[in-house]
């Protein structure tokens, strides 16, 4: 819940790989918090997001030492009765690596968030944990569509989950610049 007593609106993104544009900013300004699941790519992107609102972020495998000093590898947080675990490399629901399974057993999240694969996924693992991967919001990678997730966090957990499509990865304008 936010300060107004209503559901808290969260923007979840990952794998920006140093890319920031107005379409990301527009969505970031319209939420209560911005969560980034790693491979941010530069402190400039993190700072840009922070001008839009409060940011919760983890570093990813491409993030350098500066980013790793600025952000943790994992975030464990609770909002009301809902427990979250966010890390960059997590796996696929039902086929999670042993280290992630051990973390699930230790921390007992209701919702597990990761990035890394550049593949948008929303689903439950066999133990009932909701697993969220927002795909990739940047242009680097093999994904076809740039995506993010937005959801409301109310007393019953996640509500109103929306997939945001930002356009095709690497699409070009006539003058040769990336579409943003």
Parallel, antiparallel or unpaired: strands 120-124 and 130-134: antiparallel
pLDDT at 154: 87
What pTM, to 2 d.p., does this model score?
0.88
pLDDT at 36: 96
What is the torsion angle, in degrees rounded to the nearest 10, for the CA atoms of residue 94, residue 95, residue 98 and residue 101? -20
Tokens (6 digits) for 3? 């300060």
DSSP string, 94-146: TB--HHHHHHHHHH--SEEE--SS--EEEEE-TTS-EEEEE---SSSSS-SEE
Half-sphere CA count of 98, side-chain side, radius 13 A: 0
* CATH 3.60.21.10 domain extents, the chain: 73-135
- Maximum alpha-carbon separation in the chain: 52
Q: Please provide the CATH number assigned to the domain covering 73-135.
A: 3.60.21.10
Q: pLDDT truncated to tens, each residue of the chain (180 aa)?
A: 555 667 899 999 999 999 899 999 999 999 999 999 999 999 999 999 999 999 999 999 989 999 999 999 999 999 888 999 999 988 777 777 888 888 888 888 999 999 998 889 999 988 889 999 999 998 877 777 899 999 999 888 899 999 998 877 775 444 445 554
pLDDT at 11: 98
Q: Are 48 and 25 in contact (CB under 8 A)?
A: yes
pLDDT at 140: 73
pLDDT at 1: 55
Q: Are 47 and 36 in contact (CB under 8 A)?
A: no
Q: Where are the alpha helices (DSSP H) in the chain?
A: 22-29, 43-52, 65-70, 98-107
The Cα 22–Cα 20 span in angstroms is: 7
């Amino acid at each position: 819940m936010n300060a107004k007593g209503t559901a808290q609106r969260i923007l979840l993104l990952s794998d920006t790989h140093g890319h920031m544009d107005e379409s990301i900013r527009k969505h970031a300004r319209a939420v209560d918090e911005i969560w980034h699941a790693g491979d941010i790519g530069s402190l400039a992107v993190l700072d840009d997001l922070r001008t839009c609102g409060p940011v919760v972020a983890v570093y990813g495998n491409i993030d350098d030492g500066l980013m790793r000093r600025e952000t943790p590898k994992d975030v464990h947080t609770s909002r009301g009765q809902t427990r979250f675990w966010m890390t960059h490399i997590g796996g696929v629901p039902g086929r999670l690596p042993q280290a992630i399974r051990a973390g699930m057993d230790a921390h007992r999240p209701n919702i597990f968030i990761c990035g890394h694969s550049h593949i948008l996924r929303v689903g439950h693992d066999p133990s009932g944990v909701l697993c969220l991967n927002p795909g990739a919001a940047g242009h680097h990678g093999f994904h076809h569509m740039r995506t993010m997730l937005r959801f409301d966090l109310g007393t019953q957990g996640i509500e109103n989950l929306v997939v945001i499509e930002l356009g095709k990865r690497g699409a070009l304008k006539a003058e040769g610049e990336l579409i943003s």
